[in-house]
Amino acid sequence: MIELRTPTQIEEMKPAGRFVADVLVALKDAAAVGVNLLELDALAHTMIKDAGAESCYVDYHPSFGASPFGKVLCTSVNDAVLHGLPFDYALQDGDLLSVDFAASVNGWVADSALSVVVGNARQEDLDLIETTTRALEAGIEAARPGNKVGDISHAIAEVARDAGLRINTQFGGHGVGRTMHGDPHIPNDGRPGRGFKLQPGLVIAIEPWFLHTTDEIYTDKDGWTLRSKDGSRGAHMEHTVAITADGPLILTARD
């Protein structure tokens, strides 16, 4: 069911958005050669506890997950692009790291993700992150009253296609509110003018993710981490966005 939020409720969602943004900034700053993925998860866990927030991931067990997730953030490295289950791995020079984090503050959820290169970067990885960022910006720009979900999807896909990337539509954006995932589903490719008509009060997570040379993925033996079938690297960017009469409002903006 698609739910619309009142202006008062959107104001109430802002602390969750700020908290998620702050955690991602802290994780980005902490990610360095030699830092363990479990250390990043512990940092996020501490910030959740200190803020009196709640994790959206620890007990999360959808149909595509092998078991309850058990950690408080997703850390996807190199050929992993989504749902990366943190494990005992020390980041290496040149690793492409994607971090996805969602939390609830005062009963409202925000969800966001970013990708960074640790240490010395390959230009192709920087280009992939830049393309994914532009796709997110294009999707957000299309998130205006009167447009439709397909307009967001199409805007994202145009950026990807212009860069020569292939697009997977299995996982994408979604509604956000009292829970992490809700309607509508927002794939990263679609036809303009199709789907649910965007209205003020709709709060959604827009999240393009792309792989260098494929759109095919498989689930790692950990039962969660999604990896590219050809070993190519991936990038993932996401913001929680409220649609208002004045246009899109990014609740997880990292100022």
pLDDT tens column, 128-138: 999 999 999 99
Q: Give percent of the chain with pLDDT exceeding 70.
A: 100
Sheet strands (E) in the chain: 54-55, 74-77, 80-82, 96-105, 108-117, 173-175, 182-186, 203-206, 209-211, 217-219, 226-228, 234-236, 239-244, 247-250
Query: To which residue do tokens 């003018």 refer?
Result: 193
In the chain, the domains with their CATH numbers are 7-250 (3.90.230.10)
Tens-place pLDDT, residues 221-238: 999 999 999 999 999 999
Q: What is the mean pLDDT of the chain?
A: 97
pLDDT grade, residue 65 (50/70/90)?
A: confident
Tens-place pLDDT, residues 72-108: 999 999 999 999 999 999 999 999 999 999 999 999 9
Q: Is the pLDDT of residue 255 over 90?
A: no
pLDDT given at position 66: 85
Give the β-pairing of 96-105 and 182-186.
Answer: unpaired
Q: Is the whole-model pTM more than 0.85?
A: yes
